[in-house]
Amino acid sequence: MKKIIILFALLPLMGFSQNLFDKGNKEVEKDPTELNITENVQGTLWLPDGESNPPLVIMLTGSGPNDRDGNSVMTKNDSHKQLALALKKEGIATYRYDKRVVTQMKKKKVDPNTSFDDFITDARDVVAYFEKDKRFSKIYIAGHSQGSLVGMLAINKNIDGFISLAGAGEVIDNVIVSQIAAQSPGLDTIARTTFDKMRAQEEIVEDVNPYLMQLQGPQMQPFMESWMAYDPAIEIAKLKTPVLIINGDRDFQVSIEQAKMLHTAAPSSQLEIIEGLNHVLKKVGSDDIEAAKSYTDVNFPIHPVLIEKMVAFIKE
């Protein structure tokens, strides 16, 4: 079961023959919370009731073709939607948006040349938009998984705080190799060799193990190389803003050791390891099979301690 979950979490870009996000061509009334900032950034702005100048959290989703709610074509858990609702109840505004590839899929125009840098561009466009909006007292970025690194690279002097949710603490190729080693000893050595070749040569690596094609195949290498170019430990050390690092002891994709790496790189940061928190921000028990259901079952609740720690950091 863990192997399936890791594949869900790590696939950076997937080419689908059909648009599984498409809800048809029916005319629907425009949602008043819909806010499209650019052609690539289409999202939802939730404002808390009765708050004149609330803080705003810009939410960045993780790796894979994820939408603003935290769902993909293979998973539906509403993690980001549930988190946004919980923050709204605490008087905190949120903006969450579909990843660029999801927007492309909805338009049935997927760009195979989409890179990690495009995600950074989109996040910076969101920051530029809201730093001019006087409705908000403060602006925070909360980046989940891959979005943690994207968030670090999008921060400027107008951002009041950064929250890393299940963010890696080292370059992504090291993270992937460690995950493979935990599940398929021996295959990790092959993956490491391929990543090293990708770093050392300009041309595409053609000799890729069949079991690693979804991560290291020729069509994936340009994206992976653009992602591998950034080291989260180096980037978080550059930040001048307050930082909250959160991870869970039931996260099978990004271990608590990764969170500790980030904290070591940014020693003034606040580190919170939450018991029972998994990678999709849900509260789960010790049963692995039951915990895996949280990826595809919206009835699993967002971990209450996660909400508590985020709210305290934002309102302090």
Burial of 39: CB neighbours in 10 Å, binned 0-12, 13-18, 19+ = exposed
Using the predicted structure, report yes or no on whether residue 126 has a pLDDT greater than 50.
yes
pLDDT at 33: 94
Q: How far apart are CA 223 and CA 219, in angstroms?
A: 8
Burial of 260: CB neighbours in 10 Å, binned 0-12, 13-18, 19+ = middle
| 3-state SS assignment for residue 14 | coil
Mind listing the pLDDT tens digit for each residue in 266-289? 999 999 999 999 999 999 999 999
Mind listing the pLDDT tens digit for each residue in 132-190? 999 999 999 999 999 999 999 999 999 999 999 999 999 999 999 999 999 899 999 99
pLDDT at 316: 86
Q: How far apart are CA 214 and CA 137, in angstroms?
A: 43
CB under 8 A, 24+ apart: contacts of 28-35: 35/95
Least confident piece of the model among 23-27, 69-73, 283-287, 301-305: 23-27
Q: How far apart are CA 137 and CA 158, in angstroms?
A: 11
Give the tokens for residue 96.
């969450």
Q: Write down the mean pLDDT value for the chain.
A: 91
Name the residue among 144, 161, 171 with its Cα closest to residue 62: 144
Indicate the pTM of the whole model: 0.91
Q: What are phi and psi of 306, to 5 degrees?
A: -60, -50
Mind listing the pLDDT tens digit for each residue in 94-118? 999 999 999 999 988 889 899 999 9
Using the predicted structure, report yes or no on whether residue 46 has a pLDDT greater than 60.
yes
Residue bearing the bigger pLDDT, 276 or 26? 276
Pairing of strands 161-165, 139-144: parallel
pLDDT at 217: 96
Domains of the chain: 33-170+231-315 (3.40.50.1820), 172-229 (no CATH)
Mind listing the pLDDT tens digit for each residue in 195-249? 999 999 999 999 999 999 999 999 999 999 999 999 999 999 999 999 999 999 9
pLDDT band at 30 (very low <50, low <70, confident <90, very high): low
pLDDT at 29: 57
Q: How far, in whole angstroms, is CA 238 from its chain's centroid?
A: 20
Using the predicted structure, report yes or no on whether residue 19 has a pLDDT greater than 90.
no
pLDDT at 301: 94
pLDDT at 290: 92
pLDDT at 32: 80
pLDDT at 73: 85
